Amino acid sequence: MDAKPRLAVFCSGNGSNFEAIAAAVKKNKLRARIACLVCDKPGARAVERAHRYQVPVVLVNPKLFSSRKDYEKFIVRVLRNQGVEVVILAGFMRILTPHFIRAYQGKILNIHPSYLPQFKGAHAIRDAYEAGVRETGVTVHLVTEDVDTGPILAQERVKIRPSDTLASLEKRIHAVEHRLYPAAITAFLKSTPFKKIK
């Protein structure tokens, strides 16, 4: 039996953070197994990346369900069947319901492209850039029922240069994410006792 913690990575889009995590797993820098990629968008590039790393894909359209809760109940059943112990949100553009959060309480990680508590929400990089502040950052935190407010696991500041465009700032923030997230997941797994979630 594989003793490594089993992760499910949730993505809605490009999947560059998924790839950073998968690469860290492949190099054994992150001692875990990615049980599956969960995606809510059929055309997402994350699906292509998962195939490249031979990670099973759970592709489920939320519109096929009568409610968000029904959709998440289905996902929770799939994750339990896969023995998933930790959920990693990596650009998953849906707010999870209390039902899902309680099912994996204290075992859901998210990465957010700002130095929380500043610039919460879906457009954090743009909001920081347009606000004219001198720095922003990247935060890895546990997910709670209040959006972008869970306990912080890791943070790193990113200076906003006078020469930055929104695109150049996004590129530098993503580079920090790709380094910080696998390291934060590694630290979390080392500090957390695991038994299969029933």
Whether 147 shows a pLDDT value over 90: the answer reads no
Residue 170 lies in a domain: yes
Q: Tell me what the mean pLDDT of segment 140-154 comes to.
A: 95
Q: The domain that contains 123 carries what CATH number?
A: 3.40.50.170
Q: Is the peptide bond preceding residue 162 cis, with omega within 30 degrees of 0?
A: no
pLDDT tens per residue across span 12-61:
999 999 999 999 999 999 999 999 999 999 889 999 999 999 999 999 99
Number of domains in the chain: 1
- CA 110 from centre of chain: 4
Residue 198 lies in a domain: no
pLDDT at residue 195, as a whole number? 52
Closest Cα to residue 29, out of 37, 38, 20, 41? Answer: 20
pLDDT at residue 3, as a whole number? 82
Range of the domain at 92: 6-191
Q: Tell me what the mean pLDDT of segment 126-131 comes to.
A: 98
Q: By mean pLDDT, which of 137-146, 154-163, 175-184, 188-197 is the weakest? A: 188-197
Closest Cα to residue 91, out of 157, 153, 156, 14? Answer: 14
Is residue 35 within 8 Å of 83, Cβ to Cβ?
yes
Residue 115 lies in a domain: yes
Residue 90 lies in a domain: yes
Q: Which are the catalytic amino acids?
A: 112
Backbone angles phi, psi at 39, to 5 degrees: -135, 140
pLDDT tens per residue across span 63-121:
999 999 999 999 999 999 999 999 999 999 999 999 999 999 999 999 999 999 999 99
Q: Tell me what the mean pLDDT of segment 167-177 comes to.
A: 98
pLDDT at residue 197, as a whole number? 41
> Alpha helix (H) ranges present in the chain?
16-26, 45-52, 68-81, 98-103, 124-131, 166-191
